[in-house]
Structure 1
Amino acid sequence: MEPWPRPTTSTSATCERPLTGTPPTSASRWRKNSLTLLSPPTGGVFRNQPSHLHQVYPEEPLHAEQRFLSWFYDTILSARADYRVTWYMSWSPCFECAEEVVSFLGEHENVSLSISASRLYKRDDQGQQEGLRLLDQAGAEVAMMSPEDFEYCWDNFVDNRGMSFWYWKGIRRNYHALDDELKEILWTHQCALRLPVLALEGGRHSVQPKRTSERCLPGSPGPRGHPLRGLPRRPRAEPGTPSTSGPDTGSSLLFTCDLQQAAEGSPLSRKAEPALGTMAGSKLPWKEGYPPKPWPRNPMQKLHADYFNFHFTNELTPKGRNGCYICYEVRGNHSPIPLARGVFENQFYPKKRLHTEICFLNWFKESPLEKTPGPGEQYDITWYMSWSPCVECAKQVAEFLNTHKHVRLRITFSRLYHSKKQEYRQGLRSLAGAGAEVAVMSPKNIKYCWNNFVDKRRWSSWYWPDIHINYDALHKTLTEILRPRMDKDIFIENFGPQMPHETYLCYEVEQPEGDSGIPEDQLKGFLRNQGADTPEETRHAELCFLDRIRSWGLDRNEHYSITVFISWSPCPDCALSLVGFLRENSLVSLRIFAARIHSYIEGYEDGLRQLKAAVAQISIMDIPEYKRCWDTFVDHQGRPFEPGDDLCAHIRKESQMLDNILKGSGK
């Protein structure tokens, strides 16, 4: 019978070197196996070294976790490199193995570990539960394997001979039940310590302990304040003695081991290709100075610091930012702390290509949060995105919000995606119309992401040149995009040659350079008269506009230019009010373009002449003004303005009438 002295490597290795031979053994507690292997693999399989084989294979029984640690220490580990290790296990670790892993992580802070288990080992045993909590407190990500994880393992670790993964009956129901049980195990310890909780992260539960000198943990802090250094360790079993703390046979461990930062001379730095995680056979171009990282599964708990700096910079026209990331938080109205927090990225090979927004929606729809909301539960979701949503994603997110009224979404992004294309602008407006709060990430938002979503080891701070200048420019562009627009049918009906029953007024204001007295979202806009079909007091559109101007508190020592496009020319009373305003504000210039003459009230001619005498410019709207209004104030959804022959005839008629009035010759 052949023993199992080395891992079975999968075909997902991205770089290999010749056979290294058997490494020398050591007295170190991690060097228990002598291994011969191809190094470095990106994935492989370990199983228990069962006790019933100790006569055939004369070494002490070892669990799969212990065998991995022994192999990893002897053949891969270097103090000058960072590693991200992922385990997919048939059983969750026993208490003894959990202690071994905790001690290993405490001594090697350059190793991060994610553990996904198919089943909970002796889940009712308090000792085994404590082992899981120790792992969680040591910084390991502890989770149950989701159906997607099983499919990933089938595709990457199993000799499946071309067969697709067959989902077992009840696989998702069992996953949610086990996931809830694991959450309860970890939550018990979190509540006892009164620590900030990240209760659900796509099936990953973790605690961010407060870094204080007093800790509610057994043992004293060890070197550099690691929370679990100094814990008493359970003595190892003597060679040949069966272990009683875990499964003796039938436990397997599938792993991926990804180098995060290769150091010169380390085993993984030889012939290192810019490969992306476990993407077998895929060689993609890489950016100079942009160190390759493995692509972890969605969602991630943290984002690499250099990835954040590269993808979230708010440069107006950056190059090479082809991916998109979402740092998300989910909060409930019954809890002051986030229910979930993490990072999503675009999904690609080997899965179906999906944008990061859709990855989040799919995850949220399948999460226990969405499946079992409490009575009256309202979810507040915040997205911090590297790019604003594309057209299709905006459409799907808007549809999601329209069908999930108990979800409120705030979207902030570092940069605008295709901000000059009308269809992308319309996508952002559709999000706002569906109730989403849409904004550009401010420097304060970026700092919040850095502190809460970034694995910033060895990075003390961040700063991007022109971060405030870029934010102001992006914010101004977004404000213009989201400014309310008039429905195209309303514009055609009220500004066309027909005779409307309402008055609409569109305006633009140019204020002095450096003057921020007028709110940015009110520099352009439109309003209508308050009439019989509104609950407000009857009031003409011109008077409503003057009320808005007075609310700005204009500096009477500064020059302002105001352009008005109105569907009816001012009546005599409104004309007198405008004349009074111009006399009070002598440095304000006013231009009025009317679609037609309001000739149904006696004295309208005198009102128009007084406006002209007050140095107000008044004209009939011509085709250039119609196009300007159409492009600036109308939600035309990409359609160009197309004037008809009847409009041209209407313009000629009204222009002649106004010319006669201003010359004093009547109609």
Structure 2
Amino acid sequence: MAGWGRISGGDYIQIPWVRNPMKRLYPGIFSFHFRNLIYANGRNSSYLCFEVAGVQYYSSRTVSFHRGVFRNQVYENKSYHAELCFLSWFKANKLSPGEHYHVTWFLSWSPCARCAEEIANFLKQHRNVTLRVFAARLYYFWNPAFQQGLRKLRCLGAQVKVMSYHDFNYCWENFVYNRYMRFRCWKKVHRNYNFMSTRLEEILRNMSLLPEEIFYYQFGNQPRVSEPKGRRKTYLCYKLKLLDVTLEQGYFKNKKKSHAEICFIDKICSLDLDQTQRYKIICYVTWSPCAHCAEKLVAFIDDHPHLSLQVFTSRLYVHWRWVNQHGLRQLWKSNIPVLAMTEPEFTDCWKNFVDNQERPFEPWEKLKQHSDKVKRRLQKILKINTIDLFSEQSSEEIRDLNNLVDAVRNLNLDAHDPHY
């Protein structure tokens, strides 16, 4: 017995009698519970076949390997899904901060909404664990709550896929008492795989993502557009990170009574983040903040010293007005750098916030020239009253603002990180 399982948020999931994993499954159990039916009535148990490879940080050498099977466990008329049983056993028996772990799951059902939340909390707390999930069937794939759970796992870096014929064959060879018999697949295995794979792709692709045409129109840094689509609005895409883990991401657009920046502030405040941690937020905006929003952002960061905020803007909002210029300078003075979006930032925004159908970002004509123009205007604004902007330094100590902007831009490492 593995004992109690501490899983999320410092709280204990009460699984007093977590059994150690089984080595393998009997062929009939595997064929019945892992059959990839679209609607599998009567299959109320969940099975989880797992592999855990522990790798040393500095030598990249595999130092431990574990394989086994968990299923639902019932204690005092309460059922605990296989995912929670694995996490409890793993934390209590195998998890060590000195190793990096590659965990692979083969599930008879994809995680439910509650399990997805627990898995997400686990991944947030343990950056030394990477997770791959292969599901034979999608659990309540039409339910928005279950869809959101899968998207949350995807946002935290977990791979979520549907089991193919090759995955079933792999499980048969490694997790089933097969008596050296070859795997014989059931009818419609390929057709059902194609159906569920398409559904999963649609679920993961619809992570509150921007349509391509909206991105190109709203984030395009051309000073004018010829399409008769009306005025371009403010869109704000944000990414909340703890070290190298993305905890939350999404986008807002202007509402009638609330600018996108205000919606963003309300969202971050609602997360109730741990004030003992240092979080980094990167924002991509179509228009730089107006004077009112700049004031709100400054007050927000002043009230939350555990947050650092970096803003990339496609265009400058009414930059010729002194009040908006003053707002931009106040942001810099409060350590909230506002930088012009260049091709790396547009590419990062495209990858993370656009329903891109896995197509690469295609820059529009004169993107670089428009970015350079926005950058020069922004630098000209920030050079005004530079001594006031950095009042603690003398004018002789103030370096050229171009170098400062480049240095701040280099802090945005994840825009160039291939992991994102």
* TM-score, scaled relative to structure 1: 0.33
Deviations 1:138-195 (A, max 9, x none): xxxx87xxxxxxxxxxxxxxxxxxxxxxxxxxxxxxxxxx7xx751045669988625
Which of 227, 236, 248 is equivalent to 1:326?
236
Does the Cα contact within 8 Å between 2:291 and 2:323 map onto a contact in 1? Answer: yes
CA deviation after TM superposition for structure 1 residue 329, in Å: 0.9
SS in structure 2 at match of 1:455:
coil
Counterpart check, 1:434 vs 2:334: yes
CA deviation after TM superposition for structure 1 residue 473, in Å: 0.6
Which of 254, 269, 280 is equivalent to 1:346?
254
CA RMSD of aligned residues (A): 4.9
Does the Cα contact within 8 Å between 1:136 and 1:207 map onto a contact in 2? Answer: no
CA deviation after TM superposition for structure 1 residue 446, in Å: 0.3
Residue aligning to 1:317? 224
Does the Cα contact within 8 Å between 2:163 and 2:193 map onto a contact in 1? Answer: no
Which of 448, 455, 470 is equivalent to 2:370?
470
Deviations 1:556-578 (A, max 9, x none): xxxxxxxxxxxxxxxxxxxxxxx
CA deviation after TM superposition for structure 1 residue 440, in Å: 0.6
> 2:84, 2:41 → 1: CA distance?
12
> 1:218, 1:202 → 2: CA distance?
23
Does the Cα contact within 8 Å between 1:202 and 1:367 map onto a contact in 2? Answer: no
Quickly say closer, same or farther: Cα 1:228–1:303, change in 2 above 3 A. same
Residue aligning to 1:248? none
Structure 1 counterpart of 2:245, which letter? Answer: I
Structure 2 counterpart of 1:322, which letter? Answer: R
> 1:468, 1:136 → 2: CA distance?
44
SS in structure 2 at match of 1:471:
helix
Counterpart check, 1:411 vs 2:311: yes
Counterpart check, 1:219 vs 2:174: no
Does the Cα contact within 8 Å between 1:302 and 1:454 map onto a contact in 2? Answer: yes
> 2:159, 2:193 → 1: CA distance?
11
> 1:125, 1:134 → 2: CA distance?
15
Structure with greater Cα Rg: 1
Aligned length: 262
CA deviation after TM superposition for structure 1 residue 346, in Å: 2.1
> 1:366, 1:222 → 2: CA distance?
44
Residue aligning to 2:262? 358
Does the Cα contact within 8 Å between 2:165 and 2:190 map onto a contact in 1? Answer: no
Residue aligning to 2:278? 378
Does the Cα contact within 8 Å between 1:476 and 1:520 map onto a contact in 2? Answer: no
Quickly say closer, same or farther: Cα 1:312–1:437, change in 2 above 3 A. same
Structure 1 counterpart of 2:240, which letter? Answer: V
Residue aligning to 1:530? none
Counterpart check, 1:454 vs 2:354: yes
Quickly say closer, same or farther: Cα 1:472–1:311, change in 2 above 3 A. same
Greater RCO (CA < 8 Å, at least 6 residues apart): 2
Structure 1 counterpart of 2:152, which letter? Answer: H
Q: Summarize the alignment of residues 248-327 of structure 1 with structure 2, pairs less than 5 Å apart.
A: 301-318=208-225, 320-327=230-237
> 1:123, 1:425 → 2: CA distance?
60
> 1:189, 1:217 → 2: CA distance?
27
CA deviation after TM superposition for structure 1 residue 408, in Å: 0.5
% same residue: 22
> 2:270, 2:121 → 1: CA distance?
21
SS in structure 2 at match of 1:207:
helix
Quickly say closer, same or farther: Cα 1:194–1:470, change in 2 above 3 A. same
Residue aligning to 1:184? 118
Ranges in structure 2 where 5+ consecutive residues have no aligned partner: 1-38, 45-76, 86-106, 134-147, 170-188, 200-205, 389-393, 404-420
Structure 1 counterpart of 2:232, which letter? Answer: N
Does the Cα contact within 8 Å between 1:316 and 1:474 map onto a contact in 2? Answer: no
CA deviation after TM superposition for structure 1 residue 321, in Å: 3.6
Quickly say closer, same or farther: Cα 1:457–1:478, change in 2 above 3 A. same
> 2:165, 2:400 → 1: CA distance?
51
Residue aligning to 1:118? none
> 1:134, 1:391 → 2: CA distance?
54
Does the Cα contact within 8 Å between 1:314 and 1:467 map onto a contact in 2? Answer: yes
Does the Cα contact within 8 Å between 1:327 and 1:344 map onto a contact in 2? Answer: yes
